Amino acid sequence: MTSPESPLPSPSPCLPPPSSLPSSPTPSSSLPPPPSLPPTGEVMVLALGRKKQRMLIGLSILPNLFLAFLLSSDALLTLTSPHHCRLPGPLPAAQILNTSLPWEKGGRVGDSGGLSQCKQYINGTQSGVENCEAGWDYNVTEGLRINIVTEWDLVCGQYWLVPVEEVSFILGVLTGCLGLGFAADRLGRLKTLLTSLTLSVVFGVLVCVSTAPQFFIVMRFCLAAASAGVYLTLYITRLELCDPSLRLLVTMVAGLTTVAGELLLLGFALCYQSWRGLLGTGAAPLSLFLTYGIPGVFPESPRWLLLSERSADLNSFTERRDRGRDDESFTELDSERSPSTRPHLSFPELVHSRNIWKNICVLGFTSFISHGISHCYSSFRADVRGTAPSFYWTYLLSVCAGGGAWLLLWATVNRCGRRGILLLAMTMTGLASLILLGLMEYLSEAAITVFSVMGLFSSQAAASLCVLFTAEIMPTMIRGIGVGTVLALGCVGRLTSPLMDLRNHYGYFLHHVVYSSLALLAVLSILLLPESKRKPLPQTLADGEQYRRPSLGRRRRDNVPLLATPNPET
C-alpha cells in the first residue's frame, strides 16, 4: 500500500541577497551630489529669472528715447534758413529788398539765382556792393526758430563753422565708440555705462550754457562721445541679457524706441523753438538713469562676469543654485562684490585670430558703405534737379525709412538668416544707385523719389543689421571693441556728408559713383561671413574663431533623433 502523496510545499519567502551583493539603499543613506559644473553665459542669464530678465531689458531700452535727442538733433541745430542783410528800419518789404540787395546767379544746375544773402548795395544805391555790416535777418519757416546758425550768425563768412561742427560731432561719436567700447570690455559694462551717463549729463549742461560757437563745438564733441558710449554699452548689455530667440525682437524694439525719440525730437522742436531747450530735454532725463548704479537695480552683465574672474560672484551664484531657490531669488549676481579683476586678454592670440579680424573687416566695410551712401539718396533730387525738398519731408522720410527697416528685419532675419538679408539689403542699395545714376536723365520725379526711398530704406537696413551681426559673432571678451569699431567705420562714412555740404555738393556724381561701386564690392565680401541665427553668443576668442562661413557645397542634414537606428547603407 502506497503512502498518500504529500501536499505541495508552499512557496518559501525570498532568500536574502548574498553578502557579496550590495543591499538596497535605506532611506537614511543618500547618493553623493553630482559635481557642479561651472556656469555658462546662458545659465547665468536664466538664473536672473524671466521676470527680472525682462525688467532689465526694458531698463536698457528706455534711455534710447532720450539719446535720440542728443544723437539725432544735429540736423535741427545746423539748419540754415533763407537770410539777407539786415536793413535799417522795420522789416522791409519785397520792393525795398529788390532795390537794396544785388542779384546773384545760382550755383547749381537749374537754379536761376536770387537776391544776395551776403551782400548789399552801399547806402542803398547801386554804385557798389559791400558785406553785411549790421547782421542778418532770417526767414525761418522750418525747424527751430533759434538754432546755432541764427543765434551766432554762422552764415556767409562764418558758414565754415557749420560743417566744422558737423564733422566735430561725428568725430565725437567715433571717439566714444572706440574709447568707451574698449572700456566696456576691460572695466565692465556697468561702470562704463555709469561713467558715460555722468559725462553726458555734465557735457549736456555745458552745451546748453555755451556762449560762443567755438566753446559749443568743443562741448558738443565731448557730449557726442559720452552719448555714443551710453548707446554702445546699453546695446551690448541688452544683447547679453537675451536668449538667442529674443535677440532680434529686443533689438528691434530698441531701434523703434530710437525712431520714436526722433519723432518726439521734431515735435519738441516745434514747441520749444530754441536749441537750448531741445538739448536740455535730452540731457536732463539721463540723470535719472544714474540710479542704475544703486545695488540691485541694474546688475553687471552676467556674461562679462564669467570673464572677469570674480570668484566670489561665481561661488555665490553656485551656492544659490544648489540650494534650489526659485527664480525670484536670483535677482543680483554681483551682490557680493570682491576686488574686480579685468578679463584676461591675450593680445598675441587676438592678433592671430584671423577669422575674427576677417569678420570685423567685412562688417566694418559694409557699415562704412551703408552709412555713407544714405546721404546720397537724401540729396539726390536736389543735386540733379536743383529743387531741394522741404526739411520736414527729408527728416520724416529718413526716420520712417529707419523704422520700416527695423520692421523688415524683424519679419525676415530669423527666417532667412542674418547673412542672407544683409546680402539682399546691399544688393538693393547697389541696384538703386545704378538705376539713379545711369537713368537719371530719363526718370521722372516720381521714379527718382521711388528709387531714392528704396536706396535709403535698404541702406539703413544694412547699417542696422551690421551692428547686430557684429554683436552676435564677436566674443564677449572683445564685443565692445568689435561693435565700437563697426560703428566708428560707419561714422567715417558719414563724414562725407558735411564735406559735400562744405563744397556746395560739387562732385556729387563722382561721390555717388564711388559709393555705388563699393556697395557692389561689399555684396561679394558678405559671402565670407558666418551665420549667427539662433546660435549662442561666443565668450572667448577661441569661441569667436569657430564662427566660420559654412561651405557652399555642403549638404544640409536633418537632425536625427537619439533613438533612431542608423541605416548602414547611408
Residue 199: all three cell numbers together: 559725462
The CA R_g of the chain, rounded to the nearest whole Å, is 32
Q: How far is the C-alpha of 422 from the C-alpha of 427, rounded, in Å?
A: 9
**Does pLDDT of 303 surpass 90?**
no
Return the minimum-mean-pLDDT range out of 85-99, 157-171, 199-213, 403-417: 85-99
Judge contact between 386 and 448, C-beta under 8 A.
no
**Does pLDDT of 6 surpass 90?**
no
Q: Average of pLDDT values for 246-251?
A: 93
Strand 114-115 vs strand 103-104: parallel, antiparallel, or unpaired? antiparallel
Strand 129-131 vs strand 119-121: parallel, antiparallel, or unpaired? antiparallel
Q: Biggest alpha carbon distance in the chain?
A: 165
Q: Average of pLDDT values for 489-501?
A: 86
What are the beta bridge partners of residue 115? 103
Three-state secondary structure call for residue 507: coil
Which residue's C-alpha cell is 536672473? 48
DSSP state of 88: S
Count of CB atoms within 10 A of residue 415's CB? 9
Residue 372: all three cell numbers together: 555713407
The beta-carbon contacts of 506-509 under 8 Å, at least 24 apart in sequence, are 508/376, 508/379, 508/383, 509/383, 509/437
**Does pLDDT of 260 surpass 60?**
yes
Query: What pLDDT does 136 receive?
Result: 84
Most confident of 357-371, 496-510, 543-557: 357-371
Q: How confident is the model at residue 181 (pLDDT cuts 50, 70, 90)?
A: very high
**Does pLDDT of 424 surpass 90?**
yes
Query: What pLDDT does 42 receive?
Result: 63
Q: Average of pLDDT values for 447-457?
A: 88
| Mean per-residue pLDDT over the chain, rounded | 80
Q: How far is the C-alpha of 444 from the C-alpha of 448, rounded, in Å?
A: 6
The fold adopted by the segment(s) 348-548 is Growth Hormone; Chain: A; (1.20.1250)
Q: How confident is the model at residue 89 (pLDDT cuts 50, 70, 90)?
A: low
Angle at 245 between CA 363 and CA 475, to 5 degrees: 40
Count of CB atoms within 10 A of residue 205's CB? 16
Three-state secondary structure call for residue 136: strand
Query: When comparing pLDDT for 278 and 340, which is higher?
Result: 278
Residue 519: all three cell numbers together: 556697395
Strand 119-121 vs strand 136-138: parallel, antiparallel, or unpaired? unpaired
The fold adopted by the segment(s) 48-81+144-309 is Growth Hormone; Chain: A; (1.20.1250)
Report residue 244: phi and psi, to 5°.
Answer: -55, -30
Residues of the chain with CATH 1.20.1250.20: 48-81+144-309, 348-548
Q: Average of pLDDT values for 134-149?
A: 87
Q: Classify residue 347 as exposed, middle or buried by CB count within 10 Å of its CB (0-12, 13-18, 19+).
A: exposed
Three-state secondary structure call for residue 175: helix
Q: How far is the C-alpha of 538 from the C-alpha of 42, rounded, in Å?
A: 11
DSSP state of 379: S
Helices (H), ranges, 209-310: 213-240, 247-272, 275-283, 302-307
Judge contact between 47 and 321, C-beta under 8 A.
yes
Residues 6+ apart with CB under 8 A from 35: none
Q: How far is the C-alpha of 224 from the C-alpha of 166, rounded, in Å?
A: 11
Query: What pLDDT does 37 receive?
Result: 44
What's the whole-model pTM score? 0.82
Q: Output the CA–CA distances (angstroms, integers) from residue 104 to 112, 129, 133, 387, 535, in the order listed.
A: 9, 12, 19, 17, 62
Judge contact between 376 and 437, C-beta under 8 A.
no
CA-wise closest residue to 286 among 68, 53, 72, 58: 68
CA-wise closest residue to 147 among 86, 207, 85: 207
**Does pLDDT of 423 surpass 90?**
yes
Which residue's C-alpha cell is 585670430? 353
**Does pLDDT of 318 surpass 60?**
no
Judge contact between 538 and 547, C-beta under 8 A.
yes
Return the minimum-mean-pLDDT range out of 23-27, 119-123, 418-422, 428-432: 23-27
Q: Average of pLDDT values for 510-525?
A: 87
Query: What pLDDT does 173 receive?
Result: 96
- In our burial notation (b when 16+ CB lie closer than 10 A, e otherwise), range 5-35 reads eeeeeeeeeeeeeeeeeeeeeeeeeeeeeee
Q: How confident is the model at residue 550 (pLDDT cuts 50, 70, 90)?
A: low
DSSP state of 301: P
Report residue 228: phi and psi, to 5°.
Answer: -65, -35
Query: When comparing pLDDT for 448 and 90, which is higher?
Result: 448
Q: How confident is the model at residue 140 (pLDDT cuts 50, 70, 90)?
A: confident
Query: What pLDDT does 44 receive?
Result: 65
CA-wise closest residue to 483 among 194, 221, 229, 198: 229
Return the minimum-mean-pLDDT range out of 46-55, 67-76, 140-149, 429-438: 46-55
CA-wise closest residue to 191 among 62, 288, 55, 334: 334
Q: Average of pLDDT values for 179-198?
A: 94
Query: When comparing pLDDT for 548 and 109, which is higher?
Result: 548
Q: How confident is the model at residue 361 (pLDDT cuts 50, 70, 90)?
A: very high
Return the minimum-mean-pLDDT range out of 38-42, 93-97, 110-114, 416-420: 38-42
Strand 136-138 vs strand 114-115: parallel, antiparallel, or unpaired? unpaired
Angle at 228 between CA 224 and CA 232, to 5 degrees: 180
Report residue 79: phi and psi, to 5°.
Answer: -70, 125
Count of CB atoms within 10 A of residue 562's CB? 5
The strand ranges marked E within 244-398 are none
Q: How far is the C-alpha of 461 from the C-alpha of 248, rounded, in Å?
A: 13
Q: How confident is the model at residue 338 (pLDDT cuts 50, 70, 90)?
A: very low
Q: Average of pLDDT values for 49-60?
A: 89
Q: How far is the C-alpha of 524 from the C-alpha of 430, rounded, in Å?
A: 12
